[in-house]
Amino acid sequence: MIYKLDPLGDPRWQTLVDRHPNASVFHTTGWLEAIRRTYGYKPVVFTTSSPTLELKAGLLFCRVRSWLTGPRMVSLPFSDRCEPLCDPGEFEALVSYLQSALDHQDWKYLEIRLVDGYFSQGAEAAGFRVKDRHLLHRVNLRSSLADLLRSFHKDSVQRRVRRAEQAGLVERVGRSERLLKDFYGLCLLTRQRQHLPPQPYKWFHNVVQCMGDNMDIRTAYKNDVPIASILTLRYRGVVYYKYGCSDARFNNLGATPFLLWRAICEASSHGATEFDLGRTEVSNAGLISFKNKWAREPQALTYWKFPASSADSFERGWKVKLLKEVFSLMPNRLLTATGRLLYPHIG
């Protein structure tokens, strides 16, 4: 028997997340609430556990309802990954149930985001096909800070951190309104430089409100001018680098490596065992090269879709290329407005 529950209303969900070895910050109720408040997506967990018993397993999704991109079930929107909190046998049963439910629901497809391993093998065996491929870079923090710094690339990390320190950059950390506004101003600059619509401001505001002490904004200032900023999340022994942005005029000062190193130092000092640098599309050679300077052996991270057609990748490729060409022609104000309209449909 398969059951459904609301993870934001059933306290058993966060209890399961807190004890399950596969859980990440993306499973937490704070992250789910930020998604719900911003985009209106309703989270749902499918489980083999009866409502009257302890919750021992769960597969988390959000219902994405969009007139533009179609209704679907995604595990999990705006999240790097979302591992099943169950064993392989339960995963097989839950996936089979959801595949059968497609015939009776208005969902176009199912999407699950998995680090390559036995769950990915199970998804492929169940008929899921690859939607997107990414790499996941993670830094092991069990070494001393001195050994960690020596393990990072000498030119791209070590020297740039020293350059930032010599330039007198000032780091401010927290969740204040000023830090959020300075972060978002840099986010707008970065997305405009990339010819991409920025995420809506209310998304970051809701992340601050819902994640509380489990997130930080770190911003580097030169003469009180914000020049780079990162947003990190925390859960159990892992710190997650989720967003980064900068003013390209000051790239020579090494502000972003400086902020990442400062975040790693603080994570290590508070007993964290891992610093997660997040996902990178396999086509983004520049970002992969940057992250390889910190973590040399990334893991494969695959997004699986059911049902999928052989034309999916081709169609997505030319659509993305066309959209980027359109975005590159937009004035900045229109690009920002486009982001507010578009992101609820991306999921």
Same domain, 43 and 23: yes
Same domain, 89 and 153: no
In a domain, 346, yes or no: no
The pLDDT confidence band at residue 316, using thresholds 50, 70 and 90, is: low
Q: What is the pLDDT of residue 335?
A: 84
- In CATH, what number is assigned to the domain containing residue 188? 3.40.630.30
Q: Which of 237, 231, 236 shows the shortest CA–CA distance to 199? A: 231
- Are 272 and 141 spatial neighbours (Cβ–Cβ below 8 Å)? yes
Torsion of CA 279, 242, 187, 34, to 10 degrees: 120
Q: State which residues form the domain around 328.
A: 3-135+302-340
Residues β-bridged to residue 200: none
Give 20's contacts (C-beta < 8 A, 6+ positions apart): 85
In the chain, the number of structural domains is 2
Instruction: Kindly tell me the burial class for residue 225, based on how many C-beta atoms sit within 10 Å of its own C-beta (0-12, 13-18, 19 or more).
Output: exposed
Three-state secondary structure string covering 147-173: HHHHHCCHHHHHHHHHHHHHCCCEEEE
Lowest-confidence pick of 83-87, 216-220, 284-288, 332-336: 332-336
pLDDT tens, 3-57? 999 999 999 999 999 999 999 999 999 999 999 999 999 999 999 999 999 999 9
H or E, element range at 312: helix 312-328
pLDDT tens, 267-305? 999 999 999 999 999 999 999 999 999 999 999 999 999
Same domain, 120 and 190: no
